[in-house]
Every structure is written in C-alpha cells, then in structure tokens.
Structure 1
Amino acid sequence: MHTNLKRSHTRSIAIAAPPETVFDLVSDPTAFPRWAPGFARSARPAGDHWIIENDQGEAKIVVRSSRAHGTVDILSADDPGQGAYSRVLPNGAGSEYQFTLQFPSDAPEDAVTAQMAVVDAELEAVRALCE
C-alpha cells in the first residue's frame, strides 16, 4: 500500500494561441498576478528564487521551466516537493495547458474542491490573456 502518496488533481484548457505565447505567459513569474492573483499579488526576483506576496504573506518559490518540453513547475523553495506542475502542449493550431496540483492524502474534500475551482478560474484567465 502506498500511504505516503499525495492526491493529484489535473485540469486542462484548450487555448487558441500558439504554444510559445502560452509558455511565455505562464513561465514568467512577473505575470503571475495577471492570471493567478490569489497565488501572487506580486512577484520579485531574489537570486535563483522568486518572492511572491499574497494574502498569507510572502513565500519563496522556484520556477523550473523548459521551453523545449513545454514544462513549467512552480515549487516551494523551502520544500521543492510542494507546488504546481504544468505543461503547454500543441493542440492543432493552438495549445493545451495542463495544470496539476498535489494534495496530502488526508486533505479535506471541500478544500480540494475549492482550490481546484481557483485553478479553473486561473486557466480561464490564461486563455483570455493569450487569445
């Protein structure tokens, strides 16, 4: 039995814009306030990390991105196993943006549902900004 595994939840959205356009937006920490304002009201560089500010205060993050693979991981600098994993894929003449969050196995269902509703709104914002 794998009791230490987290629960993963993934959302995906089709975007009528080239993968490069979507990648450029979602991989730029200074753009986070435009499409994920609950996560980052602001973002500033701090060496190899970024400092984001939101309603909970400040947090240090790492953004690992690969244009060649279309991946953008937004991770806690203090706990790199905690964060969001995303990928921009070609989809016909446009793109598909996939976004995965992991939750502790004992996370309350209502908290997971609420957080994924936020993710859905963020994906819609990415689409609106890219199209």
Structure 2
Amino acid sequence: MPTNIPISRSIAIDATPAKVFAFVADPRNLPLWAPGAVKSVEPSGDAWIFHNGDDKSRVVVATSETHGTVDLLFGEGPGVYTRVLPNGTGAEYQFTLFFPEGSPQDALDAQSAVVDEELATVRTHCENQ
C-alpha cells in the first residue's frame, strides 16, 4: 500500500521532445527553472550536489533519453520523477514528486503551485530558445 501522496503535473510544450529532454536532463539548468529548490549545482562523482542557501543535498540524476525520463534520486527518501513525451509536433513534460502521508493540504497546494510555475518556466525556456 502506498504511503506517500503524489503531486503530479504536466504541461504541453511547443518544442521537440529532444529539445525539452536536453534542457531538463541537464542538472545545471535546475537553478533556471526551479530556483526555489536549487540555487546552484556542482558535480560530485556520479551525482550532483544541489545547493539551496545553507542546505545541500547529494542527488543522483538518472536519465534515459530513449525513455524520456529524468529522475532526481535523493538517497533514502522519495525522489522526483519526470518524463518527456511526444505530443503531436511538440512535447508533454510530466513531473511527479511525493509528500509523506499525513502532510497538510495547504502544504500540498503550495507545492503544487510551485510545480506549476516551474513547468511554465520550462515551457517558456524551451519554446523561446
């Protein structure tokens, strides 16, 4: 039985799946589209160090261009799972993260709004570059 609450969102993007994948698969782009979560990144062996103010996290970025997946894996906790899909002449970018069971609804709503803003930023960047 699942014990986490998913937040899943997707957005249509008027850019090729390859272009969207290239943008979201590069961890160095995270500060551009998810600045509230990641202020800067640096490589660390087979992983990345994500900095957010005084906090830092070691994150494995697992990608598959063939499957369009870009997963951010944070040690023991649940990760962030994303996928780029073909959608007509463009792409659909899907994004899922998990909150612990029992998380307050206002926290879930606030995070959903942040994810919506981040996805809009991905769309703007991919459509205008």
Tell me if TM exceeds 0.5: yes
Aligned to 1:114: 110
3-state SS of paired residue (1:39): coil
Cα RMSD (Å) = 1.1
Report runs of 4+ in structure 1 exceeding 4 Å deviation.
Answer: none
- Per-residue CA deviations over 1:13-62 (Å, capped at 9, x if unaligned) read 00000000100011100010011111111010000110011135111111
How many Å separate the matches in 2 of 1:105 and 1:33? Answer: 28
State how far apart, in whole Å, the 2-side matches of 1:56 and 1:124 are: 27
Q: Distance in 1 between matches of 2:109 and 2:53?
A: 20
The one-letter amino acid of 2:111's match is: Q
Q: Is 1:15 aligned to residue 13 of structure 2?
A: yes
Q: Distance in 1 between matches of 2:19 and 2:41?
A: 20
Which residue of 120, 123, 128 corresponds with 1:127?
Answer: 123
One-letter identity of the residue aligned with 1:69: H
Q: Determine helix, strand or coil for the equivalent of 2:31.
A: helix
Q: After TM superposition, give the deviation of residue 83 of structure 1 in Å.
A: 1.6
Query: How many pairs were matched up?
Result: 127
Q: Name the TM-score, length of structure 1 as normaliser.
A: 0.93
Residue identity over aligned pairs, in percent, reads 52
**Runs of 5+ consecutive residues of structure 1 not aligned to the other structure:** none
Provide the secondary structure at the position in 1 that maps to 2:57: strand
